[in-house]
Amino acid sequence: MVVIGAGPGGYVAAIRLAQLGKDVVLVEKAPTLGGVCLNEGCIPSKALIHAADLKHEVQHAASLGIAANDVAVDMKKLVKWKDGIVRRLTGGVKFLCEKNGVEVVAGEAAFESDRRIAVTTGDGRVEIELEQAVVATGSSPMELPGFTVDGDRVIGAHEALSLDAVPERLVVVGAGYIGLELGVVYSKLGSKVSVVEFLPELFPTLEPEVAQTMKRRLKQLGIDLHLSHRAHAFTAGEPSIVTALGPGDEELKLEADKVLVSVGRVANTAGLGLEEIGVELDSKGFIKVDDRQRTTAPGIFAIGDVAGGALLAHKAYQEAKVAAEVIAGEPAAFDNVAVPAVVYTDPEIAWSGLTEREAREQGLEVVTGTYPLRSHGRAMTLNAADGFIKVVADATTKQLLGVTAVGPGVSELMGEATLALEMGAFLEDVAATIHPHPTMSEALQEAVEAALGKAVHMLNE
């Protein structure tokens, strides 16, 4: 078995295949295992987010009776700490592959046929014959015309995670997950941040309360948000100038020492030779797969970002296990009810299942319950009571359909919420479950009780 790509999907697929008794070769062109997630995405960004949050909390703790006159940021030391975390985790992946008997080949792979790949390594060309293959090559940042990433003035997330100094002025192009997370980080570290977003609203597919809360918080953090603006031109200089066009093509000029471009991602399929072996792509360039992660070419599977859908590491984990078990002849399919998602901004945004609008568009009659964190003791003690928990359920059966949360640490609530959705839980199931006090998890129970008209710590509507 050959797995191409050693990101969250690829290394999990390789290890699971080996556990199931398969002879596995894992091919990775990057110098370290772990893919974007471990090396320049999920993990390093959360390290910087934690550091930025810590600095911001200390600077704004006067109301708690804690005063700090000067909080300095040593970016080189911070980046060194972040890199140490990355090294430990990527080293751990390498260790697990070795101990599970996975053979790792460093190089770039391409299919010569559906049963043979050629790998270009540092020592030359290697051919590997295979029975089946898993493509897990991930995705890359989408390019924006006129804003070529040079690693200096115009940067991507990779460079933003390893800057040696905090830029005085940072312009972020794109208000998605990455743009907002890193925009908040650098605002807290001391940058003057401006965000340019083509769409007229933040997170338009989520509950409208999400955008309302986030816009309020971004303003408090001093971040200038320019919605309905298209990044038009970049002029290098001291400072550089970003020109954006508004709804009526009016010009907005923003000064920048760094410009972070984050406008989406594209599948890494170029050069793999997929078309020649009969692997079909969809209209956006992602590999078509069925619920068993099988492509249109017999014996060829695809998982993770390259297979489209939600571009999330935990989805790749699950798809990897499904693919490995299907290859091993076990009954498996990607039939999950919900895929949770989190944006690690301030406050955090997390959701799982259907929003109210999505449920109504499916023709469902729904009941909702929303619990504002301004009423929640634990959120108050965290000095972060701006947010809410909202649940959506079937109005007749009271089966839980979806949960959306905005607030401190709400990412940790999504495990419970998703488990409830997977198990087909009803509102009463969650309401009757004793939640520890005082915790953020209680807020989910409170929102459920509100949907049932049984709220105690807020007025029932």
Please, which pLDDT band fits residue 461 given cuts at 50, 70 and 90?
Answer: confident
Residue 351 has pLDDT above 80, yes or no: yes
Residue 364 has pLDDT above 90, yes or no: yes
**Residue 216 near residue 184 (C-beta atoms within 8 A):** no
Residues forming beta bridges with residue 155, ordered by sequence position? 260
The pLDDT tens digits for 75-123 are: 999 999 999 999 999 999 999 999 999 999 999 999 999 999 999 999 9
Residue 424 has pLDDT above 90, yes or no: yes
Mean pLDDT over residues 385-398, rounded?
97
Q: Which residues of 48-59 are buried (b: 16+ CB within 10 A; e: fewer)?
A: bbebbbebbbee
The pLDDT tens digits for 256-274 are: 999 999 999 999 999 999 9
How far is residue 314's CA from residue 140's CA, in Å, rounded to a whole number?
18
How far is residue 155's CA from residue 360's CA, in Å, rounded to a whole number?
41
How far is residue 355's CA from residue 199's CA, in Å, rounded to a whole number?
20
pLDDT value at position 105?
97
Global pTM value: 0.95
Helix or strand or coil: residue 86? Answer: helix
pLDDT value at position 68?
86
Give the other-Cβ count within 10 Å of 96's Cβ.
Answer: 16
The pLDDT tens digits for 178-230 are: 999 999 999 999 999 999 999 999 999 999 999 999 999 999 999 999 999 99
Residues forming beta bridges with residue 105, ordered by sequence position? 27
How far is residue 449's CA from residue 358's CA, in Å, rounded to a whole number?
22
pLDDT value at position 427?
98
Q: Who contacts 224 (Cβ-Cβ below 8 Å, separation ≥6)? A: 193, 194, 195
Please provide the size of the chain in residues. 461
Catalytic residues: 437
Residues forming beta bridges with residue 125, ordered by sequence position? 120
- Phi and psi dihedrals of 239, rounded to 5? -85, 170
β-pair type (240-245, 251-256): antiparallel
β-pair type (240-245, 230-235): antiparallel
User: Which amino acid, residue 204?
Assistant: P
pLDDT value at position 460?
87
Q: Spell out the domains of the chain, with CATH numbers in brackets.
A: 2-141+266-327 (3.50.50.60), 154-263 (3.50.50.60), 341-451 (3.30.390.30)
Beta strands, E only, 75-158: 103-106, 108-113, 116-121, 124-129, 133-135, 139-141, 154-155
Please name the helix (run of DSSP H) or strand (run of DSSP E) that holds residue 157, with its range, or none: helix 157-160
Sheet hosting strand 300-302, strand order edge to edge: 103-106, 25-28, 2-4, 133-135, 300-302
Alpha helices in 333-440 (DSSP H): 356-361, 377-381, 414-422, 427-431
340: its two tokens: 């949770």
288 burial via Cβ count (<10 Å: 0-12, 13-18, 19+): middle
83 burial via Cβ count (<10 Å: 0-12, 13-18, 19+): middle
Please, which pLDDT band fits residue 358 given cuts at 50, 70 and 90?
Answer: very high
Residue 383 has pLDDT above 90, yes or no: yes
* SS3 sequence of 322-361: HHHHHHCCCCCCCCCCCCCEEECCCCEEEEEECCHHHHHH
Region for residue 416 given its phi and psi (left: phi exceeds 0; alpha: psi -120 to 50; beta: otherwise): alpha
**Residue 337 near residue 421 (C-beta atoms within 8 A):** yes
pLDDT value at position 69?
79
The pLDDT tens digits for 312-344 are: 999 999 999 999 999 999 999 999 999 999 999
